[in-house]
Structure 1
Amino acid sequence: MKISVTVNTTDLSDLDLQQMVQLGIDCVDFGIGHSFKGVKEQGFPDLDELLVLKKRLRSWGLEMNRVTLPNITSAFMEEQPGSEKELENSINAVKVFGEAGISIVRQRFEGDVFYGRSQSYKSIQRGGMIGRGESVGLLSKKDPTPTSEELTRWWGNFQRAYREIVDVALDKNVNVAMHPSDTPHPDSPFGGIGLHRIIDDFPQKNVGFVYCIGTRAEAGGSSLVMDEINHFGRKNRIFLVHFRNVRGSLPTAGAFEEAMLDDGDLNMFKILLELDKVGYKGCINPDHVLTFAGDTPDLDDKWAYSNIGWKHSSLGFAYSIGYMKALLNALVEYKGRAY
């Protein structure tokens, strides 16, 4: 297993890359589809610019691991006129990434998350660290869940788009990885049942997951995470792991809080052992770290108080990477073989 970090820009400084190397990071995941040069101009990345970026990363000993396709927005999911261009852009992006030798892409679909079903709040943890909390009970007025008919229509449009993306990706030797719905409210399209449904609908071996430990723990705790890693891992459907810890879950507490790797409900070494048991060889990524004193976090309004994207001199990321490297070293001693 290797360690990757997510960045939300392609404009990485030499300081960014130098600190990644100093911390022992192996790979870079690109979390925003429109960050690649060419997307704003033509709808999909420019191959020459992408190869320049890849070469620059390699000059520092880093690899491009996972990239993100241009978004499929509500316009496509609601079948609005002209929205087919979004799918065309995603397909062209797959071709470009495949040509550049990048093996994992993620496609976002508007509507896979039910916003307005829980209240985000600032979780203050040890020493004043700031993290993301979400509570169902704190929200006085909840937005309605889509109807069965609305969800059926949404899934049909997802299938239609995904089928074309998956087929092109298969030709280009690219894996297509879906991230679970975050926040994992009941009936979310890419919740526990939805993840199984993706595999049922798309049996191609290049279809799998960015398996987010934190998101799935929010849906059911440690036992759910261990079961899903065992199930999907045995099928070789886990392409990337978001390696993070949480406290509580929506079913047990009606709320959860993101936590540092050593300070949540999950035993991260046991999870690493489960990943090893199913033969996982990809990257583990410290996702949604907390904000330490002095940090300048990369925040997103949709996940308030979550420090999602890498920034140089982030103490939260540095702490997480060191902790993960220690776990990997411990795994070598425990298993008696190197990774």
Structure 2
Amino acid sequence: MLKVSVTVNTTDLSELDLKQMSQLGVDCIDFGAGNSFAGVKEQGYPDLDKLLELQRKIRSYGMDINRVTLPNLSDNFMRNRPGSERELENSINAVKTFGEANIDIVRQRFEGDVFYGLSKSYQAIQRGGAISRGESLGIMKEKAETPTFEELEKWWAAFQGAYGKLVPAAQNSNVNIAMHPSDTPHPDSPFGGLGLHRIIDDFPNKNVGLVYCIGTRAEAGGSSLVLDEINHFGRKGRIFLVHFRNVRGSLPTAGAFEEALLDDGDMNMFKLLLELRKVGYNGCINPDHVPTMAGDTPDLDDRWGHSNIGWKASSLGFSYSIGYIKALLAALTEFEGK
């Protein structure tokens, strides 16, 4: 059964947060910041007792934890600088801790998977003045240099070395390890279309897969690319979580894109749900990077300017998106006759 999850970037969830999520019909919570868990600052990985306490609190509101994020692997690790091997040890210990808490999905962030400075972020004004993220290639006159082929291969070697240890740890802990596509999806970004295939080819384990971000992949090629990738990765059982985001335009077609409300972008989101069901996807649908509406206090990040990336109490954008997804899921059930 498909469920609805929302992303939070803190573990300091108030009673108001949890009440509103529960009232809106949220099923699960995804934690987007690996350093937000108690214990990470002190010992490098989450404290199990504090994690279980957080889990009990969330479950008391009828929800559960779906996806978590491991401590980041920094540029120091990717460049094999002295002492950085401790970062991987912390991530492996985090996997074990999350496994002990019976949390199903972990994500590892790798510094350098996104090429910054190749497109210009701008404030996109949507229906009724709603604010979203736009990015353009054309208005970025002075572009940053991208890595050489040799530098990218060294980066991949560091990634493969890390995953070569993380994947067995995940298997032993009965945890799925999922990668999010590079956002923004500039050509040759490590976790672009070819990179996502490379992960699956390099690690053909059933617990290695994707946080499949519809919005990010639409930025790289629109509906047809998204449908093809859902079909390809979905029928292999490698989609563990879906970020459900609509966009206008794409980098190849318009040289720019803008994030949009779910009913107001280029894609037919119900059609994408049908494709997900066709390939047997049965996980969470997460409203990702929702536009900011009047009265909202958005959760913003400089890396994705003007993107409302995480839940905050009384967010009209998130409330609208959650309701829209639940309506689509109800329509899907009726359409399937179940």
TM surpasses 0.5: yes
Shift of 1:163: 1.0
Q: Secondary structure at the match of 2:106?
A: strand
Residue 101 of structure 1 is matched in structure 2 by: 102
Question: How many angstroms apart in 1 are the aligned matches of 2:280 and 2:337?
Answer: 15
Q: Secondary structure at the match of 1:132?
A: strand
Shift of 1:119: 0.2
Residue 18 of structure 1 is matched in structure 2 by: 19
Residue 52 of structure 2 is matched in structure 1 by: 51
Question: How many angstroms apart in 2 are the aligned matches of 1:294 and 1:113?
Answer: 31
Provide the alpha-carbon RMSD of the alignment: 0.4
Residue 261 of structure 2 is matched in structure 1 by: 260
Question: How many angstroms apart in 2 are the aligned matches of 1:74 and 1:251?
Answer: 29
Residue 275 of structure 2 is matched in structure 1 by: 274
> What is the letter of the counterpart of residue 111 of structure 2?
E
Residue 300 of structure 2 is matched in structure 1 by: 299
Instruction: Summarize deviations over 1:78-131 as a string: whole Å, max 9, x none.
Output: 111100000000000000000010010000000000000100000011111000
Within-5 A mapping of 1:194-205: 194-205=195-206
Q: Secondary structure at the match of 2:170?
A: helix
Q: Secondary structure at the match of 1:264?
A: coil
Question: How many angstroms apart in 1 are the aligned matches of 2:273 and 2:321?
Answer: 14
Within-5 A mapping of 1:48-87: 48-87=49-88
Residue 113 of structure 2 is matched in structure 1 by: 112
Within-5 A mapping of 1:282-293: 282-293=283-294
> What is the letter of the counterpart of residue 49 of structure 1?
K
Question: How many angstroms apart in 1 are the aligned matches of 2:127 and 2:59?
Answer: 38
Q: Secondary structure at the match of 2:212?
A: strand
Question: How many angstroms apart in 1 are the aligned matches of 2:278 and 2:292?
Answer: 32
Matched, 1:240 2:241: yes
Shift of 1:144: 1.1
Question: How many angstroms apart in 2 are the aligned matches of 1:336 and 1:229?
Answer: 23
Instruction: Summarize deviations over 1:269-318 as a string: whole Å, max 9, x none.
Output: 00000000001000000000000001000000000000001001000000
TM-score by length of 2: 0.99
Question: How many angstroms apart in 2 are the aligned matches of 1:93 and 1:99?
Answer: 10
Residue 92 of structure 1 is matched in structure 2 by: 93
Residue 315 of structure 2 is matched in structure 1 by: 314
Within-5 A mapping of 1:66-215: 66-215=67-216
> What is the letter of the counterpart of residue 160 of structure 1?
G
Q: Secondary structure at the match of 1:257?
A: strand
Unaligned runs of 5+ in 1: none
Matched, 1:36 2:34: no
Question: How many angstroms apart in 2 are the aligned matches of 1:88 and 1:172?
Answer: 15
> What is the letter of the counterpart of residue 330 of structure 1?
A
Q: Secondary structure at the match of 1:210?
A: strand
Question: How many angstroms apart in 2 are the aligned matches of 1:299 and 1:38?
Answer: 25
Shift of 1:145: 1.2
Question: How many angstroms apart in 1 are the aligned matches of 2:317 and 2:233?
Answer: 29
> What is the letter of the counterpart of residue 152 of structure 1?
E
TM-score by length of 1: 0.99
Question: How many angstroms apart in 2 are the aligned matches of 1:167 and 1:148?
Answer: 29
Count residues in correspondence.
337
Question: How many angstroms apart in 2 are the aligned matches of 1:286 and 1:27?
Answer: 12
Q: Secondary structure at the match of 2:59?
A: helix
Q: Secondary structure at the match of 2:240?
A: strand
Q: Secondary structure at the match of 1:65?
A: strand
> Which runs of 4 or more aligned residues in structure 1 lie more than 6 Å from their structure 2 counterparts after TM superposition?
none
Residue 225 of structure 2 is matched in structure 1 by: 224
Unaligned runs of 5+ in 2: none
Shift of 1:197: 0.3
Question: How many angstroms apart in 2 are the aligned matches of 1:260 and 1:125?
Answer: 8
Question: How many angstroms apart in 2 are the aligned matches of 1:41 and 1:172?
Answer: 23
